[in-house]
């Protein structure tokens, strides 16, 4: 699926450089914001069920904390490396600034295929990793969350581990937890809900009717499946989805609720069958003719190699970094409207912010209140980016970066350089 030869951190820096040039940031500010503030690499042992000891490598990177505590997910995936985590941390900085919540950007990860571990092994690895990076995390300084390969249960283990160290329960140390241990209603669906909200707003701007609009969704994990489900409920026709097992295509439309139920029982779409379905590769899926394309998998999916064959009117980036800077130029020339990741998938961190606030206050909102708050923030953020885009006649990504980078640069400048 992804082009693993492309360095995501170099892509993130290139995107920043382009925005910094547009904003005419001075050279000193560019040097500050172009690199992470803090990086921690850890190698730690875990006892496996058979008694063997395995050593895992993990990372926690904080890009910038000028606007508040660091915020960002923890990823469990075999392809995790330090440059990927650096890029994801930088994108989190811009994402939090764009939706104007008081966080800086961070990210973490472990090089592991979680599907190859038993639940006890997964728990022991998580608790040891939480211990290793506990010198950085805290409700007032760095708040992790779920990402690719992690879930609410893993967040609960993480929170419990930190709480055991402190000697009291610290619900606000992490977000994306189950509701039963201080999680927020609406958090699981938040990222996909945000993607569907900005897809609706972008379609409205483009004069595209959602009723009957054809949609392709790459990735059918938490983000992709919720995105597909909500767009389906808005009247869209979801014609193709994919996961690690491949792509599933039916021009007449897929039964998204049935596919979601299948994944709940079987953990992936592997073996899914229904009348009229054709199987396609993940690469071919991206090039299917459609109205809306939602890449919701990993970074580096749309590159210089395939951008000219993308055949849609609107791209809404549910994943982080799915489009390279070179591909962006091609898509812009083709007239494809791209809602960038730092806006499109910001619903997750927005509701994580709500969860953090609720955890600090020990006061909780209803799911309707959460969804209404999310709706307002995503709509307002889309309008701010669109205004910048139309004013400067740039892409939506550049418009989003100009809003976000300006806010972070202003906060950094106002705080000053210590000492």
Domain match, 140 and 226 both: no
Residue 171's pLDDT is 95
Handedness of CA 304, 306, 309, 314 (dihedral sign): negative
CATH classification at residue 63 = 3.40.50.10860
Alpha carbon of 407 to those of 63, 78, 87, 149, 341: distances in Å?
Answer: 15, 34, 19, 31, 17
Domain-located, residue 4: no
First to last CA, the chain: 46
The pTM assigned to this predicted structure is: 0.94
Domain match, 152 and 73 both: yes
Domain match, 312 and 193 both: yes
Is 107 designated active site? yes
Domain-located, residue 336: yes
Residue with tokens 């998580």: 126
3-state secondary structure labels for all residues of the chain? CCCCCCCHHHHHHHHHHHHHHHHCCCHHHHHHHCCCCEEEEEEEEEECCCCCEEEEEEEEEEEECCCCCEEEEEEEECCCCHHHHHHHHHHHHHHHHHCCCCCEEEEEEEECCHHHCCHHHHHHHHHHHHHHCCCCCECCCEEEEECCCCCHHHHHHHHHHHHHHHCCCCHHHCCCCCHHHCCCCCHHHHHHHHHHHHHHHHHHHHCCCCCCCEEEEECCCHHHHHHHHHHHHCCCEEEEEEECCEEEECCCCCCHHHHHHHHHHHCCCCCCCCCCCEEECHHHHHCCCCCEEEECCCCCCECCCCHHHCCCCEEECCCCCCECHHHHHHHHHHCCEEECHHHHCCHHHHHHHHHHHHHHHCCCCCHHHHHHHHHHHHHHHHHHHHHHHHHHCCCHHHHHHHHHHHHHHHHHHHHCCCC
Return d(Cα 156, Cα 177) in angstroms, integer: 6
Task: Answer with the one of 172, 206, 226 that is the final residue of a domain.
Answer: 172
Return d(Cα 66, Cα 93) in angstroms, integer: 9
Q: Give the up-direction half-sphere exposure of residue 219: CA atoms within 13 A in the CB hemisphere.
A: 25
Domain match, 329 and 238 both: yes
Q: Give the up-direction half-sphere exposure of residue 303: CA atoms within 13 A in the CB hemisphere.
A: 15
CATH classification at residue 318 = 3.40.50.720
Domain match, 65 and 123 both: yes
Q: Tens-digit pLDDT profile for the chain (419 aa)?
A: 455 567 999 999 999 999 999 999 999 999 999 999 999 999 999 999 999 999 999 999 999 999 999 999 999 999 999 999 999 999 999 999 999 999 999 999 999 999 999 999 999 999 999 999 999 999 999 999 999 899 999 999 999 999 999 999 999 999 999 999 999 999 999 999 999 999 999 999 999 999 999 999 999 999 999 999 999 999 999 999 999 999 999 999 999 999 999 999 998 999 999 999 999 998 999 999 999 999 999 889 999 999 999 999 999 999 999 999 999 999 999 999 999 999 999 999 999 999 999 999 999 999 999 999 999 999 999 999 999 999 999 999 999 999 999 999 999 999 999 99
Domain-located, residue 396: no
Q: Which of 107, 141, 233, 264 is catalytic?
A: 107
Residue with tokens 């969860």: 355
Domain match, 149 and 53 both: yes
Residue 271's pLDDT is 93
How many domains are there within the chain?
2
Domain match, 164 and 207 both: no
Q: Would you mind telling me the total number of residues written for the chain in this entry?
A: 419
Domain-located, residue 265: yes
Task: Choose among 256, 350, 266, 351: nearest CA to 294.
Answer: 256
Range of the domain at 121: 34-172
Domain match, 142 and 265 both: no
Domain match, 156 and 249 both: no
Buried b (16+ CB within 10 A) or exposed e, 154-165: bbbbbbbbbeee
Domain match, 229 and 90 both: no
Task: Answer with the one of 139, 172, 205 that is the final residue of a domain.
Answer: 172
Task: Choose among 302, 325, 303: nearest CA to 315.
Answer: 302
Domain match, 152 and 213 both: no
- Token couple for 361: 């206050």
Domain match, 129 and 216 both: no
- Token couple for 320: 């982080």
Enumerate residues 6+ apart whose C-beta is below 8 A from 201. 378, 379, 382, 383
Task: Answer with the one of 172, 198, 231 that is the final residue of a domain.
Answer: 172
């Amino acid at each position: 699926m992804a082009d693993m030869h492309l360095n995501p951190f170099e892509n993130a820096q290139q995107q920043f450089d382009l925005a910094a040039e547009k904003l005419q940031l001075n050279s000193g500010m560019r040097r500050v914001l172009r690199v992470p503030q803090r990086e921690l690499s850890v190698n730690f042992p875990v006892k496996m069920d058979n008694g063997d000891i395995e050593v895992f490598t993990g990372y926690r990177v904080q890009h910038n904390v000028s606007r508040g505590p660091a915020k960002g997910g923890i990823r469990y995936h075999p392809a995790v490396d330090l440059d990927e985590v650096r890029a994801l941390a930088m994108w989190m900085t811009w994402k939090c600034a764009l939706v104007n919540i008081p966080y800086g950007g961070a990210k973490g990860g472990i090089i592991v295929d979680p599907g190859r571990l038993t639940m006890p092994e997964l728990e022991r690895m998580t608790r040891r990793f939480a211990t290793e990076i506990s010198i950085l995390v805290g409700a007032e300084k760095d708040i992790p969350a779920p990402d690719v390969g992690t879930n609410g249960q893993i967040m609960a283990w993480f929170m419990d581990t930190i709480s055991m160290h402190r000697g009291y329960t610290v619900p606000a140390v992490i977000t994306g937890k189950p509701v039963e241990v201080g999680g927020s209603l609406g958090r699981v669906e938040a990222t996909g809900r945000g993607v569907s909200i900005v897809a609706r707003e972008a379609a409205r701007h483009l004069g595209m009717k959602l009723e009957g609009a054809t949609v392709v969704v790459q990735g059918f994990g938490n983000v992709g499946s919720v995105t597909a489900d909500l767009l389906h409920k808005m009247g869209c026709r979801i014609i193709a989805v994919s996961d690690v097992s491949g792509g599933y295509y039916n021009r007449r439309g897929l039964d998204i609720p049935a596919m979601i139920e299948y994944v709940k029982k079987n953990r992936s779409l592997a073996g899914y069958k229904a009348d009229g379905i054709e199987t396609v590769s993940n690469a071919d899926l991206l090039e299917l003719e459609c109205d809306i394309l939602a890449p919701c998998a990993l970074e580096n999916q749309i590159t210089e190699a395939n951008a000219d064959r993308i055949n849609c009117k609107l791209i809404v980036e549910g994943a982080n970094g799915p489009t390279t800077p070179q591909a962006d130029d091609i898509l812009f020339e083709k007239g494809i409207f791209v809602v960038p990741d730092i806006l499109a998938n910001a619903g997750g961190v927005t509701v994580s912010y709500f969860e953090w606030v609720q955890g600090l206050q020990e006061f909780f909102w209803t799911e309707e209140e959460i969804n209404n708050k999310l709706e307002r923030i995503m709509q307002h953020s889309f309008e701010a980016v669109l205004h910048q885009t139309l004013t400067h006649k740039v892409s939506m990504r550049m418009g989003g970066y100009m809003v976000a980078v300006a806010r972070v640069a202003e906060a950094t400048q106002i705080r000053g350089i210590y000492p």
